[in-house]
Chains A and B, each alone.
Chain A
Amino acid sequence: MNTEKSGQKGDLLLEMKDVVIDGYSDDRWHEIIKGVDVTLRRGEIMGLIGESGAGKSTLGLAAMGFARPGCRITSGSIIFDGIDLMKVSEAERRALRGSRIAYVAQSAAASFNPAHPLIAQTVEATVRRGIKPDAEARADARKLYRDLQLPNPDSIGERYPHQVSGGQLQRVMTAMAMSPRPDLIIFDEPTTALDVTTQVEVLASMRRIVEQYNTAAIYITHDLAVVAQMADVIKVLRYGETIEDAETRKMLANPEKAYTKSLWSVRSIEKPEEKSEDIVLKVDHVDASYTGSDKVLDDVTIEVPRGHTVAIVGESGSGKSTTARAITGLLAPSKGQVLFNGKPLPPRLKERSIDQLQKIQMIYQMADTAMNPRQTVRDIIGRPLEFYLGLRGRERDQRLLELLEMIELDETFIDRLPAELSGGQKQRICIARALAASPELIICDEVTSALDQIVQKGILELLLRLQRELGLTYIFITHDIATVKAISDQIVVMLEGRVVEQGMKSEILSPPYPEYTKLLLSSVPEMDPDWLTGLLAERERESSSNP
């Protein structure tokens, strides 16, 4: 159906041979990609998976002949449609970027220039390379917006990046990549930052458009279920080396290498649910708002049983984190109250006693920003020990070591700075900081969503073990259903500031579902490569049968 392309579907488009890339850190260069081969044909989608630090993005960018500052491509050949990107000049490479090879970044919100309207950025490269004149390119961009099912496709381009939602921005970025009708698009974790419900729509529209224009793509992700929906072939990468290459169905059905199998088995933690009537915390008919007029929480009532886990799920903006803010006293409720061990807590943080503060601790999504980068682990964990428990000197250090042992880190970590820790280790330190206060309740706000699946598994297992050993109560805020399955006893589903459903895990996760819970659950990608196709077909059937 596509007549603009010079080549035929199935012709060789990109061939990378024995590519070696160095990265600079700790005052020296070391190899981060150690001789990887990539072969991609026209119209083919290759999934590139692995944990963070495996070199996925570095390899993806190398396909554009691009190395980030602090990286350099040292050897190997990168031949794109007969052009050796390693041999041509920078100006020639630049001429390919944004015209024949395009890039879709992970964080659309950060990757759009805040100073320009969306459509200007969409057509920028197309117009610069003279592929289409400005007016024509803009008309085409509006058509792409329509193809990608963006709302108000004719006017959305005049908006600025901050004026549209994350899911919409990600689709606009796909339109931006598609505008010059490239031969190859690099998708670098394009849906990682999105809710499951949004992710489904973005995935569907991306897949449709690359099919429609017969574009080849490299799809980088750490989410296997996502890659299963998108890719024709999958390459598994670890520590800069290829672990396994195979056709998608074959790899899903029958992974050969042990590492690949371990990636497959991550979603396997399962905690038996327990019922309990001993309520430690009750959120009692709470309303809250930031501005005074718009309610962010509307009559929220949640009961949290002692020593158990309540998971609060919902998409972003549903009031999950606001509930946590009301419990911790960061946001005073405009109506209702929060009861802890049967007694009402003062609404405002300032009015609470040290004792009340000590009993409720928080762990955040971004361990990076939740720690002072200039404090060592000793200071970070030591502070609550001093503040809440009055421990000093030797006593404090003794307790510090115990806490480190609890989070499975050894004493060598005690004088490290956050920058010297991996993502998973940082989150462990944040857990230790919360534990240091000897709390009864810990609120975990998306604590695993910034982590890889394997690291996620480690953190979840740690939290479960601590709960068994210390009798901790958790409120677990997340939008990831797999995490919910792994850790919770009870589930609260929130939508637009209201609790739409709550109950035991087994009740919520089995039919009959209320409408929204069903949408949420059905949007979680499954390993089956036909899952997305099936889901879309089913939703279409439903919407046509009951209009």
Chain B
Amino acid sequence: MLHPVVRTILQRLGLGLITLFVVSLILFSSIEFLPGDFGEAVLGQAALPETVAAFRKELGLDLPMHERYFDWLGGILTGDMGNSFSGRGSSGGTDRSRPVIELLAPRLANTLFLASMAAIISVPLALFLGITAALYRGSIYDRMVNAMTLTTISFPEFFVAYLLILVLSSFTKLFPSLANIGPDVDFWERVYLTALPALTLTLVIVAHMMRMTRAAIINLMASPYIEMAELKGASKSEIILQHALPNAWAPIVTVIAFNLAYLVVGVVVVEVVFVYPGVGQLMVDAVTTRDVPVVQGCAMIFAATYILLNLFADIISIITNPRLLHPR
């Protein structure tokens, strides 16, 4: 007999896999139904129909859709996402196309690096600000924190980015304005180069997490057990840290997961501003050139990120809920 928590986690994991499968199905078919054709896009409108047909055959685009789908899916399961369309000899010349994985892997590493940087700064910051704002609810501090985080979330990302470049790069020369890191940059250099984009992202996401932390705690402050803690002589900070926070994790981690997912999948604007070689840019480029395998690869990674982080949030919610962790 499995512990109910383990069982629930396995269930969630299974559901996550099913969701991912459904996503792959939707993704593949929706790209399939897009108007236009890679062959024509590459060869031009003037290309002879025979040339286009030959090109399509070479790429395997002439096979029936379900065959291609299972091919693709089988490839993904074995770590092969197919080859990129671009770089293929349009006239049947030398094949310079590269596997999607090869294109994607370094970009993904960069994206995850930037996301981790931003998360390491923003999550503790948001929790700290949220808890202290709840502690000093209604004070000047509370109002300042609220106003400031609201301000930063209200500006568009590129504006925050340029503002930071202006202040921290152009005026003070503290950080470089470009974050075009290459493969041989060492760790600390990377941290230095990605400081500004990470800071931009922090400013963008901290408000949401901080406000949820504050609200989740304040929401519990009217509970009878909080009054009981007060009547047992606990101080305000003891009440919040020992009595409110342990019961507030579920909503907080949900919002944190949501924002962490955003750090991976939604940062294309910031990447463009700082010329940062991340997955977002790769996907946008692939869409403009109709490089279907790359688009599909990127989209699958984004979907997996969302599902994984939400799964993680669910698991934390479950293990911080004593009713589930310690059943009757």
Interface residues of A (CB under 8 A from B): 61, 64, 66, 68, 94-99, 102-103, 105, 107, 110-116, 124-125, 128-129, 159-160, 162-163, 176
The residue in chain A whose Cβ has the minimal distance to the Cβ of B245 is A115
Choice from B232, B323, B326 contacting A124 with Cβ under 8 Å? B232
**A64 contacts across to B, CB distance below 8 A:** 231
- Stretch of B157-165, B205-213, B219-227 that contacts chain A: B219-227
Cα distance A516–B223 in the bound complex, in angstroms: 37
Q: What would be 8 A-B contacts, judged by CB atoms less than 8 Å apart?
A: A94-B235, A95-B233, A96-B233, A98-B234, A111-B224, A115-B247, A128-B233, A128-B238
The residue in chain A whose Cβ has the minimal distance to the Cβ of B224 is A110
Cα distance A160–B328 in the bound complex, in angstroms: 9
- Are A66 and B231 neighbours in the complex by a CB distance under 8 Å? yes
Cα distance A429–B53 in the bound complex, in angstroms: 77
- Are B326 and A163 neighbours in the complex by a CB distance under 8 Å? yes
**B238 contacts across to A, CB distance below 8 A:** 128
Nearest Cβ on chain B to A163's Cβ, whole angstroms: 5
Choice from A97, A116, A159, A160 contacting B231 with Cβ under 8 Å? A97
Nearest Cβ on chain B to A82's Cβ, whole angstroms: 19
- Are B228 and A105 neighbours in the complex by a CB distance under 8 Å? yes
- Are B323 and A113 neighbours in the complex by a CB distance under 8 Å? no
Cα distance A113–B230 in the bound complex, in angstroms: 12
**B275 contacts across to A, CB distance below 8 A:** none
Known A98-B233, A103-B228; further 16 A-B contacts with Cβ < 8 A: A61-B231, A98-B232, A102-B231, A111-B224, A113-B228, A113-B229, A114-B323, A115-B322, A124-B234, A125-B234, A128-B233, A159-B326, A162-B322, A162-B326, A163-B326, A176-B232
Choice from A61, A97, A105, A159 contacting B233 with Cβ under 8 Å? A97
**Leading 8 A-B pairs by shortest Cβ distance:** A98-B232, A115-B246, A98-B233, A97-B233, A110-B224, A125-B232, A103-B231, A113-B225
- Are A128 and B234 neighbours in the complex by a CB distance under 8 Å? yes
Cα distance A530–B203 in the bound complex, in angstroms: 69
- Are A110 and B232 neighbours in the complex by a CB distance under 8 Å? no
Cα distance A105–B247 in the bound complex, in angstroms: 20
- Are A116 and B246 neighbours in the complex by a CB distance under 8 Å? yes
Nearest Cβ on chain A to B163's Cβ, whole angstroms: 41
Cα distance A159–B235 in the bound complex, in angstroms: 25
**A160 contacts across to B, CB distance below 8 A:** 322-323, 326
Nearest Cβ on chain A to B131's Cβ, whole angstroms: 16
- Are B323 and A162 neighbours in the complex by a CB distance under 8 Å? yes
Interface centre among A115, A116, A162 (most CB of B within 10 A): A115
* Chain A CB within 8 A of B56 CB: no
**B308-328 CB contacts (< 8 Å) to partner A:** 320, 322-323, 326, 328
Cα distance A125–B238 in the bound complex, in angstroms: 11
The residue in chain B whose Cβ has the minimal distance to the Cβ of A163 is B328
* Chain A CB within 8 A of B243 CB: yes
Interface residues of B (CB under 8 A from A): 223-225, 227-235, 238, 242-243, 246-247, 320, 322-323, 326, 328
Nearest Cβ on chain B to A103's Cβ, whole angstroms: 4
Choice from B227, B229, B233, B323 contacting A68 with Cβ under 8 Å? B227
Interface centre among B231, B246, B247 (most CB of A within 10 A): B231
Cα distance A113–B229 in the bound complex, in angstroms: 9
Cα distance A107–B223 in the bound complex, in angstroms: 11
- Are B231 and A114 neighbours in the complex by a CB distance under 8 Å? no
Cα distance A373–B300 in the bound complex, in angstroms: 46
**B247 contacts across to A, CB distance below 8 A:** 113-115
- Are B233 and A111 neighbours in the complex by a CB distance under 8 Å? no
Cα distance A125–B235 in the bound complex, in angstroms: 11
- Are A112 and B228 neighbours in the complex by a CB distance under 8 Å? yes
**A102 contacts across to B, CB distance below 8 A:** 231-232
Nearest Cβ on chain A to B228's Cβ, whole angstroms: 4
Choice from A96, A107, A113 contacting B243 with Cβ under 8 Å? A113
Nearest Cβ on chain A to B272's Cβ, whole angstroms: 44
Cα distance A97–B322 in the bound complex, in angstroms: 27
- Are B225 and A110 neighbours in the complex by a CB distance under 8 Å? yes
Cα distance A103–B230 in the bound complex, in angstroms: 10
The residue in chain A whose Cβ has the minimal distance to the Cβ of B221 is A69
- Are B229 and A99 neighbours in the complex by a CB distance under 8 Å? no
Interface centre among B224, B225, B247 (most CB of A within 10 A): B225
- Are A99 and B233 neighbours in the complex by a CB distance under 8 Å? yes
**B246 contacts across to A, CB distance below 8 A:** 113, 115-116
Nearest Cβ on chain B to A355's Cβ, whole angstroms: 42
Cα distance A163–B227 in the bound complex, in angstroms: 22
**B230 contacts across to A, CB distance below 8 A:** 66, 97
The residue in chain A whose Cβ has the minimal distance to the Cβ of B222 is A69
Cα distance A64–B246 in the bound complex, in angstroms: 27
Cα distance A80–B243 in the bound complex, in angstroms: 28
Choice from A97, A98, A107 contacting B224 with Cβ under 8 Å? A107
- Are A114 and B225 neighbours in the complex by a CB distance under 8 Å? yes
Tell me whether A129 and B233 are in contact in the complex, defined as CB-CB below 8 angstroms, given that A116-B246, A162-B323 are known contacts: yes
The residue in chain B whose Cβ has the minimal distance to the Cβ of A158 is B326
The residue in chain B whose Cβ has the minimal distance to the Cβ of A162 is B323
Nearest Cβ on chain B to A97's Cβ, whole angstroms: 4
The residue in chain A whose Cβ has the minimal distance to the Cβ of B249 is A115
Cα distance A176–B246 in the bound complex, in angstroms: 20
**B328 contacts across to A, CB distance below 8 A:** 162-163
**A114 contacts across to B, CB distance below 8 A:** 225, 247, 322-323
**B234 contacts across to A, CB distance below 8 A:** 94, 98, 124-125, 128
Tell me whether A98 and B322 are in contact in the complex, defined as CB-CB below 8 angstroms, given that A110-B223, A115-B246 are known contacts: no
**A103 contacts across to B, CB distance below 8 A:** 228, 231-232
Cα distance A99–B232 in the bound complex, in angstroms: 7
Cα distance A107–B246 in the bound complex, in angstroms: 21
Cα distance A331–B311 in the bound complex, in angstroms: 34
- Are A111 and B326 neighbours in the complex by a CB distance under 8 Å? no
Cα distance A176–B234 in the bound complex, in angstroms: 14
The residue in chain B whose Cβ has the minimal distance to the Cβ of A120 is B242
- Are B228 and A111 neighbours in the complex by a CB distance under 8 Å? yes
**B326 contacts across to A, CB distance below 8 A:** 159-160, 162-163
- Are A105 and B224 neighbours in the complex by a CB distance under 8 Å? yes
Interface centre among B224, B233, B246, B322 (most CB of A within 10 A): B233
**A110 contacts across to B, CB distance below 8 A:** 223-225
Cα distance A102–B233 in the bound complex, in angstroms: 9
Nearest Cβ on chain A to B138's Cβ, whole angstroms: 12
The residue in chain A whose Cβ has the minimal distance to the Cβ of B247 is A115
Cα distance A287–B239 in the bound complex, in angstroms: 47
